Amino acid sequence: MDLSTLADSIWRELEQANTGRKHPWRTPVLASIDIAGLPQARTVVLRKVCRNTQTLQFFTDSRSPKVGQLRASDQIQLVFWSSVLHWQLRISAQARIETSGAEVDKAWQRIKQSPARQDYLSPFAPGDALPDAATMALEENPNLAIITATVTHMDWLSLSPKGHQRAEISATTIRWLTP
């Protein structure tokens, strides 16, 4: 791998992960810090990739615990692993939450055509204990939030029998690291 083209290759893979349902980078782990200072990590689906703005987007329920965590502490890490490429990518980023506005409306227009619409219309927040009664009325307004992660730093690791490689990429730095 050539250091001068590494950032291009990584962003190309992220773009492919956004469009290809089977790409292993489609479902990274998003780690945040909760209000007690404890780590909280969970799998999410990559929904948008924009190299120009150095941003990645994810959808979530606006009532989910992660939304409160990200509002209180916006520093996150995203971990991607591909057993096809043998690449791990750890992205450090700053998260922004949107629960209304044109972008949320546009995303909802798409989601509401799909079975996922139910996820955002449930009367219960993610993590709530479910009541015994099996029936539940869906809410009228979606509880959709968009998480926009602005990339600040990438830590790329490539595993190979010929020798592992690791590199750090940020706005000011591109350099090899000891794997």
Ligand X SMILES: Cc1cc2nc3c(=O)[nH]c(=O)nc-3n(C[C@H](O)[C@H](O)[C@H](O)COP(=O)(O)O)c2cc1C
Chain centre distance of CA 21: 15
Return d(Cα 130, Cα 64) in angstroms, integer: 15
Q: Which is nearer to ligand X, 5 or 27 (CB)?
A: 27
Q: Which is nearer to ligand X, 41 or 138 (CB)?
A: 41
The binding site for ligand X (CB under 6 A) comprises: 27, 40, 42-45, 58-61, 64-66, 126-127
Q: Compute the least distance from the CB of residue 40 to ligand X, in Å.
A: 5
Q: Compute the least distance from the CB of residue 164 to ligand X, in Å.
A: 27
Q: Compute the least distance from the CB of residue 58 to ligand X, in Å.
A: 5
Q: Compute the least distance from the CB of residue 101 to ligand X, in Å.
A: 19
Which residues in 116-155 are b (16+ Cβ under 10 Å) and which e?
A: eeebbbbeeeeeeeeeeeeeeeeeeebbbbbbbbebeebb
What is the bridge-based pairing of β-strands 87-98 and 144-158? antiparallel
Q: Which is nearer to ligand X, 60 or 148 (CB)?
A: 60
Q: Which is nearer to ligand X, 88 or 165 (CB)?
A: 88
Q: Compute the least distance from the CB of residue 37 to ligand X, in Å.
A: 15
Return d(Cα 8, Cα 36) in angstroms, integer: 38
Q: Which is nearer to ligand X, 7 or 79 (CB)?
A: 79
